[in-house]
Amino acid sequence: MRYLLLSAAASLFTPAVGTADDAVPSNGRQQRFADEVLPFVTDYCVDCHSGGEEAEGGVDLEGYTSLASAEQDRARWSQIRGLIELGAMPPVDALLPEPAERDAVVGAIESLLEKADCGLPASPGRVTIRRLNAFEYDNTVQHLFGIEYWPSLEVGFPSDEVAAGFDNQGDALTLSPILLEKYLDAAEKIAAKALEGGGPHGSRARLLVETPHAQLSVRDAARAVFERLLPLAFRRPAEPNEVQRLVDLTGRMHDGGASFDEAVSAGVQAVLVSPHFLFRVEPEVVHAPGQATEAIGGYQLASRLSYFLWSSMPDLELHRAAGAGELDDEQALRRQVERMLEDERSRSLQKSFVHQWIGVGQLYELEFNVRRYPTWGAHLREAMVSETERFFAAAFAEDMCLEDLVNTDFTFVNPRMAEHYGLEFEGQDPAEMYYTGSGPDREEMLRRQRRREQRYREEDKWIRVELPAGRRGLLTQATVLALTSNPTETSPVKRGKWVLDVLLGDPPPPAPPSVPGLEETAAGAHDLPLREQLELHRSDPNCAACHQQMDPLGLAMQNYDPIGRWRKRENGHPIDASGEVDGVAIDGVDELAEYIRSRREDVARNFVGKLLTFALGRGLEIQDQCAIESILDQTREDGYRLRSVITALVLSDPFRMRSVSESVRTANVSDAAR
Amino acid sequence: MRSSINRRNFLRGLGASVALPALPSLAAAELAKPPVRLAWLSFPNGTNYERWMPEGEGYDWKPSETLAALGDARRDVLVLSGLAQRNAEPQGNGPGDHARSGATFLTGVHPRKALGARLSAAMSVDQAAADAIGQSTRLPSLELGTEPSRSAGSCDSGYPCAYSSNISWRSPTQPMPKEINPRLAFERLFGTFDGKGQWQDRRIAMRQSVLDIVADDAARLRPRLGAADRLKLDEYFQSVRDTERRVERMNTPVPAFVAEEPAPTAEPASISEHIRLMLDLMVLAFRSDTTRVATFMMANEGSNRSYKEIGVGGGHHQLSHHRNQESSVQSVAKIDRFLVEQFAYFVGRLRDTAEGEGTLLDNCLALYGCAISDGNRHDHRELPILLAGRGGGAATPGRHVRYSGDTPLNNLYLSMLDAAGAPLERFGDSTGRVDRLSV
């Protein structure tokens, strides 16, 4: 069976850099496609990959007759190039190209379809108007009103759709009738909550800056309330008519017999369901005819910043700076980034960006076999996630170099994680800190003890500890080791894939439905160690191309069981964590970390791409490569430190600018003509 | 006969709201005949098709291993073979069958393999029905499920996750997210506010004022946005309009028997409990005429959950690619039967609910199916489809009907819409109506 494997990463381009050499005139490029790519496809691909529905793997390559048609499907061509490069295509039982032919076509596809021409005028792209996702909505409401309330959970918002790996992408965030209903319910509850909070600094006092009295009418009090609230809620100055309508509404409600509280609550609801609150609006502005790019406005930039670094609204200082035009100034912008990263609110980066980048969510879809892994459960999972969040908080706080994420000699533990890792906790044996109180009966007590179902003394105390030999950085954190495992045993394949995908930005394509899985090729070989089963699997040429990359990376992590505990043997077999990738011998996690650090450029390029996707709220386009390369150039010298990368990203064109939309450009031209 | 009294109560309530301008006036004759309700229930990952396919046709059919799980419900369903959703096929786009199947199941269109996140499906059949027959009930349509959208990793070969986690689509870009929490679904259907499920007039007036203001915000904002942003704002505007209509109907009384039902738990203890709570809600929603159109995803397309309560520890999706390994095939067979049993439970509940001279089931058409036939091979022809109920006389259940040569599943949908009084000329890739639904 022949299959063309297509990877999941439609939205990620393969990292490759445009250089001046590639600036071939466009008819030369078309010619090159016709001369170097098409003949290869005709000779080696279309035999199987043609005929529409009949095409092998459902992939039809016959229709690509020109560069222009291929440019419509860049992501697919990038996958095709990857498969040819890996040697996975054409399949071994087909007519095979000479190595030189292979190299030539790979080079041609890369240069024609995967590299941006950074010599062209800058194209910062456009971001579709973004609805606040559930996490941003909750944070915003908390900061706007000063209340502790999680409406998305209390009211039950439908889950936000994920695209390009993140749940904050403008195109994927839709607004359905059910969500609008939930927003109405939430707004009602939020208003009530805000009006409850007592005390001179409580949420009520904060919201009701005035209440009506003998000298102050209901309408005037309402005006004061909404003149303060609206600019914060809409993240820009309010227009007079916007305030007036809410004053009118409040007045009308009051005239109809509602209390002042109830009438103000109606106005607050209208604010919270307004598109100006729910969406991050970046309206069109007037610009010179022929202008191709424009800076987004100061208030819009402030919102981009705050939702990037805080997943929440701009605070008063950022709002002020935007109003004063300070964000146009690069130095002032740098200072704001510094300030915001120092702020507690920047911890949101761990829960939003880091969670999704690392794939922490997968931990919540996994259940490990508790007979083999009795301590697995909600407590342990929460502790694992907490460790990872604390680790990244420290990494951002200490402005760590990216490559050092896999190389640190410290982590954070509470007594539960200390016992999990076989460490002492402040000089104590953590096993003895586990609560061994009375149970309903001895049997039940022992069961709970074995499963560590109760709490430890000082369960909430977290300390920074030095890692013992054999543990190092992110790679040996239980979170990463567990989210890449199967319920009953480790999966070197998944671990290797995780390293390639999450750290190196080089994901292997998924196995097609009918390629034999590990179980089949290793049939009858279950008593063999996993390593030998994998070797059998790799001896199948259909699997070899990708698994030669994945397996050794994952095998290097075999000294850790599915929930991340250290081990020396597996199923009675001593562990052998050695292997070879790209001609580099790797034995165990220390050498794996060295290998990853040797590919620091790939690590950085991948990280910047992911961070840019998250910061912009849109999938990357080919032209974004130029911005990414520029960010890398600016941060290479200091070793790709996290804060430098963030700052360079904030200063980049895609973050501060946008392409002028076609429709507006045309409109301006016709205005000018008139 | 309790329910016929309650039904009268309910109809009085409906009569009270006829004065609202948005509602078409309902003639007395139309009120006399119970409305036809439509439901679509989807299950993920296809089946072991050879264990699904029954022997014999017409009334003379022998249930297969999987369909034996229908039990008594077999006389209430039509087994419909030979239907296809061919727009779920790759059409040159490579892997991603689960995502495509989710998006195609109720639309019959080929979803776009978008760059980035832009969605492109089509309005689904339930929403077409809701536009025609959902405008006089408290809720135009109901969307239920049991699993949230995936929040981690990719969903299926570069397709946006929305395709795998929704079957109901309001527009090509707007999926209708499903409620997965039984308690919240109950509250949305019947309200919680004054304990009697009714809204005070003042509250309704407040919501209407709020919606007026935000609709005005949207209208003023629109000209200041670029083209892609306008599409998003239009979605918002459409949702505001839909919600306005819903708020207008908020004071439609809920029949008394609903108040006697305990609100369901928010945290079901097992998959079967979760599914059954949702099915009970659909029965209650139909019985009380709170909605006439419902969809239910028993699990997301491509779902990899394990069914521990029936002794299946592996993930469903992983198992469905069984490569003919006997233990995996057996596990999939167990899941297939388990899910058919849940459908049979739903059919039984509808049948046990009296309505007018007959049963609620007589006035329903409830489809159970998937746009993947065999989970191991990912084909989209010979789909596993069951249709329960008589649809007010449109269907004669208890039979196996075989259609020929890739009859589009959408042809069946057109026939279902006809039965509910929501006819369309064509829908998606339809080529006509199906025959032999009734004898």
Q: What is the maximal distance between C-alpha atoms in chain A?
A: 93
From chain B, the residues in CB contact with A245 under 8 A are 213, 216
Contact at CB, B115 and A619, closer than 8 angstroms: yes
Predicted confidence (pLDDT) at residue A354 exceeds the cutoff of 60: yes
What ranges in A235-285 are assigned the alpha helix state H? 240-255, 260-272, 275-278
Confidence class of residue B14 from pLDDT cuts 50, 70 and 90?
A: very low
Is the distance from CB of A92 to CB of A541 less than 8 angstroms?
Answer: yes
State phi, psi for B77 to the nearest 5 degrees: -120, 155
Predicted confidence (pLDDT) at residue B96 exceeds the cutoff of 90: no
Of A245, A367, A663, Cβ closest to residue B213: A245
* Per-residue confidence (pLDDT) for residue B293, from 0 to 100: 98
* Per-residue confidence (pLDDT) for residue A513, from 0 to 100: 53
| Mutant choice from B229, B242, B317, B321 vs A, greatest count of A C-beta within 10 A | B229
Q: What is the pLDDT of residues B291-341, one digit of tens each?
A: 999 999 999 999 988 898 999 988 898 889 887 888 889 999 999 999 999
From chain A, the residues in CB contact with B141 under 8 A are none
Q: What is the pLDDT of residues A251-265, one digit of tens each?
A: 999 998 899 999 999
- The residue length of chain B stands at 439
DSSP string, B170-221: EETTEE-PPB--HHHHHHHHH--TTSSS---HHHHHHHHHHHHHHHHHHHHH
Is the distance from CB of B412 to CB of B83 less than 8 angstroms?
Answer: yes
The continuous run of DSSP H or E covering A412 comes out as strand A410-413
Q: Which residues contact A200 (CB under 8 A, 6 or more apart)?
A: none
CA–CA dist A515, B77 (Å, integer): 37
- A172: helix, strand or coil: coil
- What average pLDDT does the segment A499-521 reach? 71
* Per-residue confidence (pLDDT) for residue B20, from 0 to 100: 34
Contact at CB, A129 and B206, closer than 8 angstroms: no
**Two tokens at A396?**
């951002």
* Per-residue confidence (pLDDT) for residue A28, from 0 to 100: 85
Q: What is the pLDDT of residues B401-430, one digit of tens each?
A: 999 879 999 999 999 999 999 999 999 999
Predicted confidence (pLDDT) at residue B73 exceeds the cutoff of 50: yes
Confidence class of residue B152 from pLDDT cuts 50, 70 and 90?
A: low
Amino acid making up residue A46: V
CA–CA dist A2, A90 (Å, integer): 8
CA of B227 to nearest chain A CA: how many angstroms apart? 7
Of B161, B211, B246, Cβ closest to residue A162: B161
Q: What is the pLDDT of residues A622-647, one digit of tens each?
A: 899 999 999 999 999 999 999 999 99
* Per-residue confidence (pLDDT) for residue A20, from 0 to 100: 39
Predicted confidence (pLDDT) at residue B24 exceeds the cutoff of 60: no
Residue A237 forms contact with B (CB below 8 Å): no
Predicted confidence (pLDDT) at residue B18 exceeds the cutoff of 70: no
The predicted model scores a pTM of 0.88
Confidence class of residue A169 from pLDDT cuts 50, 70 and 90?
A: very high
Predicted confidence (pLDDT) at residue A523 exceeds the cutoff of 80: no
Is the distance from CB of B128 to CB of B295 less than 8 angstroms?
Answer: no
Residue A240 forms contact with B (CB below 8 Å): no
Confidence class of residue A614 from pLDDT cuts 50, 70 and 90?
A: very high
Confidence class of residue A5 from pLDDT cuts 50, 70 and 90?
A: very low
Confidence class of residue A222 from pLDDT cuts 50, 70 and 90?
A: very high
| Mutant choice from B120, B173, B236 vs A, greatest count of A C-beta within 10 A | B236
Confidence class of residue A73 from pLDDT cuts 50, 70 and 90?
A: confident
What ranges in A48-197 are assigned the alpha helix state H? 67-71, 74-86, 99-109, 134-145, 151, 177-196
Least confident of A413-427, A433-447, A588-602, B158-172: A433-447
Predicted confidence (pLDDT) at residue B121 exceeds the cutoff of 50: yes
Of B92, B117, B376, Cβ closest to residue A52: B92
Of B179, B210, B217, Cβ closest to residue A266: B210
* Per-residue confidence (pLDDT) for residue A331, from 0 to 100: 97
Least confident of A16-25, A45-54, A135-144, A314-323: A16-25
* Per-residue confidence (pLDDT) for residue B95, from 0 to 100: 78
* Per-residue confidence (pLDDT) for residue B13, from 0 to 100: 35
Q: What is the pLDDT of residues B359-413, one digit of tens each?
A: 999 999 999 999 999 988 888 999 999 999 999 999 999 999 999 879 999 999 9
Distances (CA, A) of A36 to A63, A117, A206, B243: 17, 20, 68, 57
Contact at CB, A178 and B118, closer than 8 angstroms: no
Contact at CB, B157 and A356, closer than 8 angstroms: no
| Mutant choice from B98, B178, B200, B210 vs A, greatest count of A C-beta within 10 A | B210
From chain B, the residues in CB contact with A281 under 8 A are 221, 225, 229
Predicted confidence (pLDDT) at residue A353 exceeds the cutoff of 90: yes
Is the distance from CB of B49 to CB of B384 less than 8 angstroms?
Answer: yes
* Per-residue confidence (pLDDT) for residue B331, from 0 to 100: 95
Higher-scoring residue by pLDDT: A525, B169: B169
Predicted confidence (pLDDT) at residue B30 exceeds the cutoff of 70: no
Confidence class of residue B136 from pLDDT cuts 50, 70 and 90?
A: confident
- The conformational region for residue B48 under phi > 0 = left, psi -120 to 50 = alpha, else beta, is beta
The continuous run of DSSP H or E covering A579 comes out as strand A578-581
* Per-residue confidence (pLDDT) for residue A50, from 0 to 100: 87
Q: What is the pLDDT of residues B178-191, one digit of tens each?
A: 999 999 999 889 87
Is the distance from CB of A64 to CB of A41 less than 8 angstroms?
Answer: yes
- What average pLDDT does the segment A191-202 reach? 92
- What average pLDDT does the segment A514-523 reach? 48
Predicted confidence (pLDDT) at residue A144 exceeds the cutoff of 80: yes
Question: Where do we find the tokens 């222009």?
Answer: A68
Contact at CB, A514 and B323, closer than 8 angstroms: yes
* Per-residue confidence (pLDDT) for residue B151, from 0 to 100: 63
Predicted confidence (pLDDT) at residue A191 exceeds the cutoff of 90: yes
| Mutant choice from A7, A71, A79, A178 vs B, greatest count of B C-beta within 10 A | A178
Predicted confidence (pLDDT) at residue B278 exceeds the cutoff of 70: yes
From chain A, the residues in CB contact with B162 under 8 A are 161, 163, 172, 174
Predicted confidence (pLDDT) at residue B6 exceeds the cutoff of 50: no
DSSP string, A421-482: HT--BTTB-GGGGB-----SSHHHHHHHHHHT-SPBTTTT--EEEEPPTT--TGGGSHHHHH
* Per-residue confidence (pLDDT) for residue A662, from 0 to 100: 65
Sign of CA dihedral A381, A382, A387, A390: positive
* Per-residue confidence (pLDDT) for residue A92, from 0 to 100: 79
Q: What is the pLDDT of residues A549-566, one digit of tens each?
A: 899 999 999 999 999 999
SS (H, E, C) B258-270: HHHCCCCCCCCCC
Higher-scoring residue by pLDDT: B343, A517: B343
Predicted confidence (pLDDT) at residue A411 exceeds the cutoff of 80: yes
* Per-residue confidence (pLDDT) for residue A267, from 0 to 100: 97
